[in-house]
Amino acid sequence: MNLWLIKKKMKKYNKIEVSLVEKEDKILLNKHKSYVVWFTGLSGSGKSTLAKHLEKKLYDHGIRTVLLDGDNLRNNLNKDLGFSMSDRAENIRRVSELAKLFIDSGIVTLSAFISPIETERNNARINIGDENFIEVFCSCSIEKCMERDKKQLYKNVALGNIKNFTGVDSKYEIPKEPELVLHTDEESISSCINQIMEYLITNKYINKKGNES
């Protein structure tokens, strides 16, 4: 037996069989494509709010979704992580791996994380696949974010209780080429959701009935 054939057989035997059902089969069953809508922006820019409203809109179109939110994951899956640069990078890495699992299961994933570093977002895009990654930048002035401040985070930053807070004393790198830029300090929630839906329909992620085009 030649060396090429031996290597081929070894590759076959070493391959881990995760599922007997392919991603494409799950997409056919669900009758819609799977992808991630990755919301990024400052705290208070409207990421989670838009993700929740988009989830409802997609549900009304018969699309199966899962919502991954920064606060929720840091209270369970990523509760062992702090807010150092290395921990933040690991937080986003885990999120991208989780999103990929959902996408491979045929489920649309809505991800709402500050994800302040361009390299980390790009790594998530590469891991998930460019064709499955829709980056939505929630553009909002720091003044408007501070005005909203539902969690009293900016207030605690001003009091000195929180250090290395994104947008104040820790950098946020604005996305260079996001699929969508939503000016959440100027536009209504419904306007922003309509823009996302228009993008999804125009780029054939869904049609007007929610089924795969």
List C-alpha distances in Å: 17 to 5, 13, 20, 61, 209.
21, 10, 7, 33, 35
Mean pLDDT across 155-183: 89
Q: Name the residue with tokens 């606060």.
A: 71
Instruction: From 164, 168, 26, select the one nearest 107 (Cα to Cα).
Output: 26
Round to whole Å and give the CA distance between 206 and 29: 15
Please identify every residue annotated as catalytic. Answer: 115
- Which pLDDT score, from 0 to 100, does residue 7 have? 45
Check whether 213 has a pLDDT greater than 50.
Answer: no
Check whether 211 has a pLDDT greater than 60.
Answer: no
- Which pLDDT score, from 0 to 100, does residue 5 have? 47
Sheet holding 133-139, edge to edge: 65-69, 108-112, 36-40, 133-139, 180-183
- Specify the higher pLDDT residue, 15 or 53: 53
Least confident of 26-40, 73-87, 175-189: 73-87
Mean pLDDT across 153-181: 88
- Specify the higher pLDDT residue, 71 or 162: 162
Mean pLDDT (the chain, rounded): 86
- Which pLDDT score, from 0 to 100, does residue 60 have? 94
Mean pLDDT across 13-21: 62
- Residue 36: phi and psi, rounded to 5, are -115, 135
Round to whole Å and give the CA distance between 205 and 202: 8
Q: How sure is the predictor about 77, in pLDDT bands with cuts at 50, 70 and 90? A: low
> What are the residue ranges spanned by the domains of the chain?
21-202
Class level of CATH domain 21-202:
alpha beta
Q: Are 99 and 23 in contact (CB under 8 A)?
A: no
Round to whole Å and give the CA distance between 71 and 48: 9
**Predicted structure pTM score:** 0.84
- Residue 154: phi and psi, rounded to 5, are -65, -35
Instruction: From 60, 116, 113, select the one nearest 84 (Cα to Cα).
Output: 116
- Specify the higher pLDDT residue, 35 or 166: 35
pLDDT in tens, 124-141: 999 999 999 999 999 999
- Specify the higher pLDDT residue, 122 or 75: 122
